[in-house]
Structure formats: C-alpha cells, structure tokens
Amino acid sequence: GQQVMQIPQYQHVQEGEDFTTYCNSSTTLSNIQWYKQRPGGHPVFLIQLVKSGEVKKQKRLTFQFGEAKKNSSLHITATQTTDVGTYFCAGPPYSGAGSYQLTFGKGTKLSVIP
C-alpha cells in the first residue's frame, strides 16, 4: 500500500534558525496536505498543494510540492517558540479505487530552544 515518509523524525533548533521537514510518498499524490499538532493538542490543517511544482507561503512558512508529485517540503524561516509542535504531511494517491484515502506521515517533531 501507499507509504508516506517524513524526515527527520525530530529536530531541535535554536530560536531564529531555519527548519525544514521533508515528505516522500511511495506513490504519486493527487495533493499534499500539511498539518500542525501543538504539544497536547490535535492536528490542525495548515495548507494544501495540488499542482506539480507548486510553492505556497504563509508568513515564515514555505511549502513546496515536487515536480513528480511524490514529495513535498515545509521550510520555516527564523523559527520562533510558537512554531513548536509536530508537523504532519498527508496525501491521497493520484488514482485508485476502493479504499484509497489520505495517508499521514509519522510527523516531524520540532523543538525550539529559546
């Protein structure tokens, strides 16, 4: 079945440093979604990318969708303590029937040292 892998699993950064997490799928995706889960909280949707090579920005966050629609990245510029949490990517396969659905990666846990 489809697998979605994220690296790194954990990342510790000094406040002000940049951070990047990578998401790789074993199959071509129809879209890629990113979620953030704060410590003790629940995942919250951040953004969805649909087009090959698409880049979207949300303030200090930059999201990219690969040309082959099998990988994606989230880059945070100048991290702040409010960025702490676990970032998940998720995506459905490009085509398929039956039980195909959104598959989540295991997430990257970001810690920011003040």
Partner 1 sequence: DGGITQSPKYLFRKEGQNVTLSCEQNLNHDAMYWYRQDPGQGLRLIYYSQIVNDFQKGDIAEGYSVSREKKESFPLTVTSAQKNPTAFYLCASSWGRTDTQYFGPGTRLTVL
Position among 14, 39, 59, 99 found at the interface with partner 1 (CB under 8 A): 99
CB-CB contact of 97 with 82 (8 Å): no
Q: Taking CB under 8 A as the rule, does residue 63 contact partner 1?
A: no
Among 56, 60, 75, 109, binds partner 1 (CB under 8 A): 109
As a whole number of angstroms, the distance between CA 21 and CA 25 comes to 14
- The nearer residue to partner 1, 26 or 101, going by C-beta atoms, is 101
Question: Which residues partner with 62 through β-bridges?
Answer: 57, 75
Pick the binder of partner 1 from 17, 20, 75, 104 (CB under 8 A): 104
41 contributes a contact to partner 1 by CB under 8 A: yes
Cβ atoms of 21 and 7 closer than 8 Å: yes
Give the span between the Cα atoms of 112 and 114, in whole angstroms. 6
Would you say 16 or 96 has its CB closer to partner 1? Answer: 96
Look up residue 52 and give its two tokens. Answer: 């090959």
Near partner 1 by CB under 8 A: residue from 20, 24, 28, 31: 31
